[in-house]
Amino acid sequence: MKQTKIFYIVKGTLYRNNIHNFNEDEENNITINKEFRGNNVLEIRKQAFSYFRSILEVLYESKGLVFENEDKAQKDLKDFYFSGIMDETPKLSDKHPNLTGIFTDRDTNKYLTISFCKADDKPYICKNGMKIYDDKTIHFFGYERELMDKIIIENLKSEQKFLTKRK
């Protein structure tokens, strides 16, 4: 069977729970990275969206709630992507005296996305084996979601070209 010209990736990092007074380390995060490939682009797209939603449903279940819609999930599941903690960056301030008082936002990498990627693109493979593609985000859940709106609209237009060429 011939693979489609694009495939989908559901990926992201979320907090494991709502206790945010911990050090930022891997054991306190949930990391998701799953590829969807096949010979029917509409089917693999559907699978990616279904998987994405199932993650939100599991997060809801962990809080004893029931999924209604993604806008409500963005509010109800905020604990999984927002801590509100700003960390001072001691490594920078130790190296340069003019950089004291610089803070980093712990939540900037807390989100869940659906992206598509051209099937013939070669990934960058990290030391830990994780593959990084030149992917285009088409769906976003998490921290500062509204900042992604314009990018998502452009990426959806780009995706549409692949969906209409599928025959």
Count of C-beta atoms within a 10 Å radius of residue 127: 5
**Which letter does DSSP use for residue 36 in this model?**
E
Reported as a single tens digit per residue, the pLDDT across 119-141 is 888 888 888 877 888 899 999 99
The amino acid that residue 125 corresponds to is I
User: Which range scores top for mean pLDDT: 74-78, 110-114, 127-131, 152-156?
Assistant: 152-156
pTM of the model: 0.81
46-87 residue pLDDT tens = 999 999 999 999 999 988 999 999 899 989 988 888 876 665
* CB neighbours of residue 164 within 10 Å: 8
The domain segmentation of the chain, as residue ranges, is 6-164
State both tokens at 12: 């992201």
What local confidence, expressed as pLDDT, does residue 123 receive? 85
